[in-house]
Structure 1
Amino acid sequence: MSAPLRIAIAGSSGRMGRMLIEAVEAADDCVLAGALDVAGSPALGTDATAWLGRESGVKVTADVRTALADAQVLIDFTRPEGTMAHLAVCRELGVRAVIGTTGFSDAQKAEIAEHGRHTGIVMAPNMSVGVNVVLKLLDMAARALNEGYDIEIIEAHHRHKIDAPSGTALKMGEVVAAALGRDLKECAVYGREGVTGERDPSTIGFATVRGGDIVGDHTVLFAGTGERIEITHKSSSRVTYAQGSLRAARFLADKPQGLFGMEDVLRLNA
């Protein structure tokens, strides 16, 4: 049996971080090798699994190099500025990275691609296996429904989410736009108010809902004359994101460099 994959978790005391730690602890082929959190976090210096009622021997730290010293892969669901700083150290140390952070600028995405020339990276706005299967279905649907259908993307998340539309909704829009031969930057409509006039059939609309503890709901609506097609994914738990992240980490085990997406991990392009 091969040695377990050594994984570090960024944002280790947050909701997603703890879900990732629990998934790593439950996996037979993975082991927690590092736990990273922001300076000032009350979790610093504590055992990363103390909240589970057991000791892992891994202390939560704000020092990136300390957290990555014994890791092969970092899983990062934090914020763009934090992720970018972590990636620079991953590149330096040869640590692979699974990035679930959203809200990157175009310049930051270009920098991530450059890091991918030096270490293996899987980046996806949503690590859920189901969501990535939906992205494949959306590509197929958009190609078939390329005339006579208006396209709207509706997403809902919890009240604490800081970016809108969600990275998943934007990815869905990018997939649909590409299938139609359009550029999402030119055809997206992010808000409607007042007298807007008739809908431009070449646009892709977005609607955002924030409230409560909604984990993540996404619907792409193809509205034609006489019929509507809705492709929907609803998350009831962050467990799906954690399990998808572990699949991505395993995928990177033999990838010393390269920038990949979940479509590569799941072989959806095969």
Structure 2
Amino acid sequence: MTEQPGIVIAGASGRMGQMLIRTVGESGRARLAACIERPGHGWIGRDAGEAMGAAPLGVRVGDDVAAALDGAHAVIDFTAPPASVALAQAAAQAGVVHVIGTTGFDKVQLDAIAEAARRVPVIRAGNMSLGVNLLVQLTRQVAAALDEDFDIEVVEAHHRHKVDAPSGTALMLGEAAAEGRGVELGAVADRGRDGITGARARGHIGFAAIRGGDVVGEHDVIFAGAGERIVLRHVATDRAIFARGALKAALWGQGRAPGEYTMLDVLGL
């Protein structure tokens, strides 16, 4: 029997890390190869299952990235930009697929990830869910069909612990809208309004972020014209959708050529 792909989970103690551990274990299509946490974390040396308050999994959490990746097939990473960049370099050296759900990268960090992708498949997406990626496609199509008489606003809501804004998904949607309009998002994005701002600039794409409670993720793309509005919406109620998408990406990446991919590639969209 062919061995199931071994998956490494980075940031094992986080909300997504724990969900990924459960998802891999329940999938029947992959095995949990290792779990990684930052040096000094309280989970280091503990069985991952027991640390989560569940049954033992026979996999201890470690902080040695090279050892964790040795013999693995993919690493799934919902951590923080600096950690993801370091992990990209380690994954490239180890020759394993790197799935990145982390958001909030700057250009220098994205360039470093692109360099790593010259050696291994790197699948990076601001959102791993099927529904969101369909929403991205719809946003691009609607933006292409409507002219600048329709103002575009992207409104997103997340839990109080999220550290970046706008969300990676909101930026994905903004990019899709800009592509549909045939413009560069950086030239038309309006990411903050406060005080006497003046009238809304024609053709701009606005962003608004809401943070509070335990909201998993809600995204609206509003096309507001004179006398009518079109609203495209996605609501996530279970973080498991992102974990399932990330695992799908890790399995899809097996045997792929080095390069940067998105969930649109994984889903054939």
TM-score band w.r.t. shorter chain: over 0.9
Corresponding residue of 1:201: 202
Tell whether 2:111 aligns with 1:124: no
- Alignment check: 8 A CA contact 2:7 2:73 kept: yes
Corresponding residue of 2:30: 30
How high is the sequence identity, in percent, across the aligned residues?
A: 46
Q: Deviations over 1:45-94 (max 9, x none)?
A: 01112235322221101111122123110000000000111111111110
- Alignment check: 8 A CA contact 2:159 2:214 kept: yes
Corresponding residue of 2:116: 115
Corresponding residue of 1:56: 57
The correspondence of residues 238-249 of structure 1 with structure 2, limited to 5 A, is 238-249=239-250
Between the aligned partners of 2:20 and 2:256, the Cα distance in structure 1 is 21
For 1:49, the aligned partner's letter is: G
- Alignment check: 8 A CA contact 2:11 2:78 kept: yes
Q: Deviations over 1:185-235 (max 9, x none)?
A: 111111212222221111111111111111111100000111100001111
Corresponding residue SS for 1:86: helix
- Alignment check: 8 A CA contact 1:152 1:221 kept: yes
- Alignment check: 8 A CA contact 2:10 2:79 kept: yes
Between the aligned partners of 2:111 and 2:152, the Cα distance in structure 1 is 29
Q: Deviations over 1:104-154 (max 9, x none)?
A: 111111121111110111000111111111101111111111231001110
Corresponding residue of 1:141: 142
For 2:254, the aligned partner's letter is: A
For 2:29, the aligned partner's letter is: D
- Mean Cα displacement is larger for which, 44-53 or 242-251? 44-53
- Alignment check: 8 A CA contact 1:102 1:125 kept: yes
Corresponding residue of 2:102: 101
For 2:188, the aligned partner's letter is: C
Corresponding residue SS for 1:49: helix
Corresponding residue of 1:44: 44
Between the aligned partners of 1:40 and 1:127, the Cα distance in structure 2 is 30
TM-score by length of 1: 0.97
Tell whether 2:16 aligns with 1:8: no
TM-score by length of 2: 0.97
- Alignment check: 8 A CA contact 1:143 1:180 kept: yes
- Alignment check: 8 A CA contact 2:148 2:202 kept: no
TM-aligned CA deviation for residue 256 of structure 1: 4.4
Corresponding residue of 1:156: 157
Between the aligned partners of 2:75 and 2:106, the Cα distance in structure 1 is 21
TM-aligned CA deviation for residue 3 of structure 1: 2.0
For 1:5, the aligned partner's letter is: P
Corresponding residue of 2:67: 66
C-alpha RMSD of the superposition: 1.1
For 2:14, the aligned partner's letter is: G
Corresponding residue of 2:216: 215
